[in-house]
């Protein structure tokens, strides 16, 4: 995962070279466990990722 960004609604946007969403799901689970609240993670290849700011 690379190019981590954040949307205004708190969604984390990442670039992933892996096919599918397994890596994104694992990242979401790991971050959610750390912060104690669900963290929504999406990849940058979807229209909803437009406008996300770099962290």
- Indicate the pLDDT class of residue 54, thresholds 50, 70 and 90: confident
- Indicate the pLDDT class of residue 35, thresholds 50, 70 and 90: very high
CA distance 18 to 24: 9
- Which DSSP state fits 26? H
Neighbours of 51 (CB within 10 A): 9
Average pLDDT, the chain: 92
Neighbours of 52 (CB within 10 A): 20
> Does 1 have pLDDT greater than 80?
no
């Amino acid at each position: 995962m690379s190019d981590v960004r954040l949307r205004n609604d708190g969604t984390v946007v990442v670039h992933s070279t892996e096919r599918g969403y397994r890596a994104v799901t694992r990242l979401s689970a790991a971050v959610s466990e750390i912060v104690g609240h669900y963290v929504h993670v999406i990849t940058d290849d979807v229209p909803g990722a437009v406008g996300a700011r770099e962290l």
